[in-house]
Chains A and B, each alone.
Chain A
Amino acid sequence: MNYLRPQLLEQLAGAYALGTLRGPARARFGRLCQHNSAASAAVQRWEDRLIYLLPVVAPVAPSPQVWARIAQRIQSRPVDSKRGTGWWRWMAAGALALSLVVGISIRLLNPPLQTVAALGDDRSHPLWSVARSGDSGSLTIRALQDVRGNAQRAYELWALPRDGKPPVSLGLLPRTGSIERTLSTTQRLALLASSKVAVSLEPPGGSPSGQPTGPILYVADVGRTG
Chain B
Amino acid sequence: MRAPEPDNAALEILLARCARQDSAAIEELYQQVAPILLALLMGMLRTRDLAEDALQDVFVRVWRQAGQYDAHRGRTMAWLVSIARNRAIDMQRANRNWVTLESVPEPAAPAGREESTLTRNALERCLQLLSGDQRQCLVLAYQQGLSQDHIATTIGCPLGTVKSWVRRALVSLRQCLES
Q: Report B-chain residues with C-beta under 8 Å of the C-beta of A4.
A: none
Task: Report Cα–Cα, A186/B174, bound state, in Å.
Answer: 68
Q: Is the CB of B2 within 8 A of A58?
A: yes
Q: Is the CB of A70 within 8 A of B110?
A: no
* Chain B minimum-CB-distance residue to A41: B70
Interchain CB contact (< 8 A) of B52 among A10, A17, A66, A216: A66
Interchain CB contact (< 8 A) of B107 among A53, A62, A99: A53
A51-B39 contact in complex given A11-B170, A70-B60, C-beta closer than 8 Å = no
Does chain A have a CB within 8 A of B11? no
Residue from A17, A47, A59 with most neighbouring chain B CB atoms (10 Å): A59
Task: Report Cα–Cα, A150/B25, bound state, in Å.
Answer: 10
Q: Is the CB of A51 within 8 A of B2?
A: no
* Chain B minimum-CB-distance residue to A74: B63
Q: Is the CB of B55 within 8 A of A57?
A: no
Does chain B have a CB within 8 A of A109? no
Q: Report A-chain residues with C-beta under 8 Å of the C-beta of B20.
A: 121-122
* Chain A minimum-CB-distance residue to B36: A59
User: What is the number of residues of chain B that contact chain A, defined by CB distance less than 8 Å?
Assistant: 66
Q: Report B-chain residues with C-beta under 8 Å of the C-beta of A20.
A: 141, 147-148, 166
Task: Report Cα–Cα, A100/B22, bound state, in Å.
Answer: 9
Q: Is the CB of B145 within 8 A of A19?
A: yes
User: What is the number of residues of chain A that contact chain B, defined by CB distance less than 8 Å?
Assistant: 51
Interchain CB contact (< 8 A) of A57 among B21, B40, B59: B40
Q: Is the CB of A59 within 8 A of B177?
A: no
Does chain B have a CB within 8 A of A50? yes
A66-B23 contact in complex given A54-B143, A55-B105, A57-B40, C-beta closer than 8 Å = no
Q: Is the CB of A56 within 8 A of B73?
A: no
Q: Report A-chain residues with C-beta under 8 Å of the C-beta of B127.
A: 52-53
Does chain B have a CB within 8 A of A201? yes
Does chain A have a CB within 8 A of B26? yes
Does chain A have a CB within 8 A of B118? no
Interchain CB contact (< 8 A) of B39 among A60, A71, A73: A60
Q: Report A-chain residues with C-beta under 8 Å of the C-beta of B34.
A: 62, 66-67
Q: Report B-chain residues with C-beta under 8 Å of the C-beta of A62.
A: 34-35, 38, 52, 55
Q: Report A-chain residues with C-beta under 8 Å of the C-beta of B78.
A: 44, 47-48, 51
Q: Report B-chain residues with C-beta under 8 Å of the C-beta of A73.
A: 56, 60
Report the minimum CB–CB distance from A150 to chain B (whole Å): 7
Q: Is the CB of A53 within 8 A of B143?
A: yes
Q: Report B-chain residues with C-beta under 8 Å of the C-beta of A214.
A: 24
Q: Is the CB of A56 within 8 A of B56?
A: no
Residue from B20, B75, B82, B110 with most neighbouring chain A CB atoms (10 Å): B82
Interchain CB contact (< 8 A) of B82 among A26, A47, A70, A122: A47
A60-B38 contact in complex given A11-B167, A18-B166, A49-B173, C-beta closer than 8 Å = yes
Cβ < 8 Å to A, chain B residues 70-129: 70, 73, 75, 77-79, 81-82, 85-86, 89, 105-112, 120, 123-124, 127
A53-B85 contact in complex given A62-B34, A217-B24, C-beta closer than 8 Å = no
Q: Which 7 A-B pairs have the closest CB atoms?
A: A59-B35, A98-B23, A57-B39, A14-B170, A54-B111, A52-B110, A53-B142
Q: Can you list 20 contacts pairing A with B, beta carbon distance less than 8 Å?
A: A11-B167, A11-B170, A15-B166, A44-B73, A48-B112, A51-B77, A51-B81, A51-B112, A52-B123, A54-B81, A55-B143, A57-B36, A57-B40, A60-B38, A62-B34, A98-B26, A149-B24, A201-B24, A215-B24, A215-B27
Could you list 9 further interchain pairs (A-B, Cβ under 8 angstroms) beyond the known A11-B171, A60-B39? Answer: A52-B111, A52-B120, A55-B143, A57-B36, A62-B35, A66-B52, A69-B56, A70-B26, A121-B22
